[in-house]
Amino acid sequence: MKKTILIYMVLFLLIGVNVFAFDVTIDQDGNVTAGASGASGTLEVTGRSAGKAIIGIGNDTGGVGVYGIHQTNGDFGLLGGYNSLMQPVGVYGYSLFNWAGYFEGDVNVAGNLSVDGGINFTPPLALSMDAGGYTIHGINNYAQGIGVRGDGGYMGVWGHSTTGIGIYGEATSTSGLNYGVFGYSQSSSGRAVYGKGDNGAYAGYFDGNVEINGNLTVINGSLTAAGIDADTVDNMHAVDLLDKATYDSGDDGTVDNADMVDGKHASDFAPLVHGHSSLYGKVTIVAQSGGQYTNPRDALLNIADWCGTPSSANLCLLKILPGIYDLGNNGLAMRSYVDIEGSGENVTIITSTHSSGTSDESSATVVGKNNAEIRFLTVENHGGSTNSIALYNYSASPKITNVTANATGGSNNYGILNSFYSSPVITNVVSTASGGTSNMGIFNLTSSSPTMNNVTADASGGSATNVGVSNWQSSPVMTNITAAGSGGTDSYGVSNSNYSLPVMTAVIAEAAGASSNNYGVSNSTNSFPVMKDVSSNGIVINGNHLFVPGTDTPYANGLLLMAVFNEITGLGTPTSTNPYVIKLDAGVYDIGNNGITMQSYADIEGSGENATTITSTHSSAPGLIDENAATVVGADNAEIRFLTVENKGGYGNAVAIYSDSTSPMITKVTATVSGASRIDGVYSTNASPILRDVTARASGESSCHGISNISSSQTKMTNVTVELSCDGNNHGISNFSSTPIMTDVSITVTGNGVTFDNYGIYNNVTSLIIRNVTITVSGGGYRNYGVRNVNASPTLINAVINALGGSYSYGVYNYNGSSSTIEGSSISATTYSIVNENSIFANVGATMLGGTVFGGGFTCVGAYGSNFVALNPSCQ
């Protein structure tokens, strides 16, 4: 039906026009041929000139010039073709007012679509992006393909939307470099992508990260809301960008009012270039370039320009950026309520040669003030005159935090000097002084009481004195301190003098290299520090307890042990009200050919006889027994305990423990000796030592003496054990002109030499009481004596004596005017149980005699033989 109507309409047109350029034929099938034969369509019109083959004109409103429709899928309502050689137009539409072409449905363009004008699409109304249709939907799945491209002399693509999105671009690939919308401009003033927003609308909106590979320029506008967080700009805030900001100034010197970062306008930055105002209030920047000042001294001198008058209500900050700031022969005087902050100890350095003949502010690089802090920088003074001070405080108590202070170049150099009631808080500080004559890392002077925490103070190189921390009439609180002095005549880690009372906790004090004194900690003139976990030259001090580690080699341990007495000298003389305890670790302390001399009121305590050993090869010439032969020399009012003392000899005489005119206490000690011509475990002359739970051992090829009491000694022995085994003469205990008290004593002597004598106890010119004693003398010696008395008058109570072996063996041998009293004892001997030779008497009561007696002057009461047969009054 539609085909018939169309034919009639065409015929009507042809008849109405009444102009036929060529014949028109209609065959029996309804095909119409006009202008040419061999038609290939229902209606074919072939133009033979450059004119139009078919012209369709619709004059009425809503009319259509040419209307084509096809109801079957795959075909075309209107198909236009062209000759590629001539490049005509397949379908041409023209409209003065309406559409040149109208398509109600999908339009498929298989090729290029060129539009000389505009394309206006009205898509179906969409409720959302996902549900809505597309005005233009271009799909290109080829690599680097473009879905929609627009080229224009002014605008390539124009997008406009009243309620939705004018242009929407999406890149769906999850890898590679993809663009949802790509814009490109070659003009220096062009815009690859242009967005415009009116009435507060956004010209562009980005929900996600935005990457700008180039400059971001704001013209006559602002970055509003919170602005751009400066942390997204190279991780810096606006204040960090001060020397990086550029300013568009006009000829009149004004600055464009363009918003910058962190909510700051360009006008806020202008003073940074043209004056000394700061980005932030009450802050000024000192920098080698780009700051308000290039010298911190100038910044403080002109503080009124950038902070006004500092006070508790008007606090100020002087910020110094990296660099070396040389003050020359000037100092920097801090101001109260003004902090000075560098950019780090390794990158910000204030230095000077400020120096004079007095140790005050005229010689200091920085002078402190109350209610102020200096931090995060290095302060140096390279001197040039008598005194050189890096940091000086006079009646001032600033905070000094994370600062390195170095002083050198003067005769007297001070890293930090606190004078006259100064109480600064010094935290995380390294303070050094070097060169010249005298150096002090930190000097606290005249009632100064700083609080020091995590501080290293070092002094070195001075020709006279080098002190890490010196306290003179001052009482600082020192915690986690390392203080060292080295070189010169006297070196001290920490020196406390003239009534100083510091509190020292976790302090390491070292001193070395001085020709005279090297004291880790030195206390003098009524100075009594409180010390806890203080290491003085490796010796750990807790109160008055000095701990000597024993974990190193025996020789290194020995050096440390010998140094402890030097440290005590530095700490202060021990007294009854200020005693010391020297605690030795488990280990061997080898002091070589040296001895240690105990000090009164300074005890030596080991960690057990089997754990701690003090050993030496200290020995003297033959025939001379004195302190030069001893490993340990005793002292009055002092005790040595819980360890082993050893002397391995090497020359004439060797002694483990020696006392001369002193009365030390020796408790739970093993005294071992060997290696010399004569050896003594414990040797006392004109002394009154107290031996409790002591073992004396001697062995070797020497003449051995377990315990020797000489020249009016009054040794008290309780629970004492003597063990000897030597090739020469063996004397278990020798008492010469002495009156010891012996209780619970055990003596074992084993003689090895065939021509020598062995003695359990040898008494010469003495009168003494021996109680609860056990004596065994044996071996291949010439003569073996349990007890030999020469001009002596001993009393033996509850004694068990056995003399065996040798050519002759005697239980008790009284000689040359001796007299002895024996009660409740047991005496056995191979030769004679008792011998009286040129003696006065021997009184024996309630005693078992295993062997006959020899000589006269015997009186026996209740005596009996080894077979329990009673003896007569003459002990027969």
pLDDT for res 211: 75
Q: Encode pLDDT of 307-317 as tens digits.
A: 999 999 999 99
**176 pLDDT more than 70:** no
Burial of 425 (0-12, 13-18, 19+ CB in 10 A): middle
Give the torsion sign (CA, 572, 573, 574, 580).
positive
Taking the CA of residue 363 as centre, how many other CA atoms within 13 Å lie in the half-sphere pointing to its CB? 25
pLDDT for res 50: 52
pLDDT for res 504: 97
* Average pLDDT estimate for 729-757: 94
pLDDT for res 283: 98
Give the torsion sign (CA, 93, 99, 102, 108).
positive
**43 pLDDT more than 50:** yes
**Spatial separation of the C-alpha atoms in residues 68 and 513, rounded to whole Å:** 114
Least confident of 294-308, 559-573, 691-705: 559-573
Percent of residues, the chain, with pLDDT higher than 70: 73
Name the helix (H) or strand (E) containing 682. strand 678-685
Asked if residues 392 and 366 have their Cβ atoms less than 8 Å apart, the reply is yes
Give the β-pairing of 545-548 and 539-542: antiparallel
* Average pLDDT estimate for 509-517: 96
In this prediction, residue 92 has a pLDDT band, given cuts at 50, 70 and 90, of low
pLDDT for res 530: 94
Q: Encode pLDDT of 712-724 as tens digits.
A: 999 999 999 999 9
**248 pLDDT more than 50:** no
**Spatial separation of the C-alpha atoms in residues 324 and 311, rounded to whole Å:** 29
In this prediction, residue 859 has a pLDDT band, given cuts at 50, 70 and 90, of very high
In this prediction, residue 170 has a pLDDT band, given cuts at 50, 70 and 90, of confident
Name the helix (H) or strand (E) containing 270. helix 266-274
> Quick one: three-class SS letters along 521-581?
EEECCCCCCEEEEEEECCEEEECCEEEECCCCCHHHHHHHHHHHHHHHHHHCCCECCECEE
Give the β-pairing of 826-829 and 848-850: parallel
pLDDT for res 203: 72
**Spatial separation of the C-alpha atoms in residues 425 and 368, rounded to whole Å:** 11
835 vs 79, which has greater pLDDT? 835
**854 token code pair:** 């020899």
- Complete DSSP assignment for 115-176: -SS-----PPP-SSTTTS--SS-----STT--S-----SS-S-----SSS-S-------SSS
**337 pLDDT more than 60:** yes
* Average pLDDT estimate for 582-599: 97
* Average pLDDT estimate for 182-193: 72
pLDDT for res 769: 95
In this prediction, residue 132 has a pLDDT band, given cuts at 50, 70 and 90, of low
Percent of residues, the chain, with pLDDT higher than 90: 64
Nearest of 434, 377, 426 to residue 410 by alpha carbon: 434
Q: Encode pLDDT of 283-308 as tens digits.
A: 999 999 999 999 999 999 999 999 99
Q: Which domains are assigned to the chain? A: 2-45 (no CATH), 230-271 (no CATH), 275-436 (2.160.20.10), 597-726 (no CATH), 728-876 (no CATH)
Q: Encode pLDDT of 365-413 as tens digits.
A: 999 999 999 999 999 999 999 999 999 999 999 999 999 999 999 999 9
* Average pLDDT estimate for 75-83: 57
pLDDT for res 752: 85
pLDDT for res 175: 66
Q: Encode pLDDT of 448-492 as tens digits.
A: 999 999 999 999 999 999 999 999 999 999 999 999 999 999 999
* Average pLDDT estimate for 105-133: 57
* Residue that is written with structure tokens 């305990």 in the block: 641
pLDDT for res 129: 42
Least confident of 27-41, 134-148, 224-238, 375-389: 224-238
Q: What is the mean pLDDT of the chain?
A: 84
Nearest of 475, 390, 486 to residue 430 by alpha carbon: 390
pLDDT for res 244: 44
**135 pLDDT more than 60:** no
**20 pLDDT more than 60:** no
The rounded radius of gyration (Å) of the Cα atoms in the chain is 57
Taking the CA of residue 626 as centre, how many other CA atoms within 13 Å lie in the half-sphere pointing to its CB? 5
Distances (CA, A) of 252 to 115, 249, 256: 51, 8, 11
In this prediction, residue 273 has a pLDDT band, given cuts at 50, 70 and 90, of very low
**245 pLDDT more than 60:** no
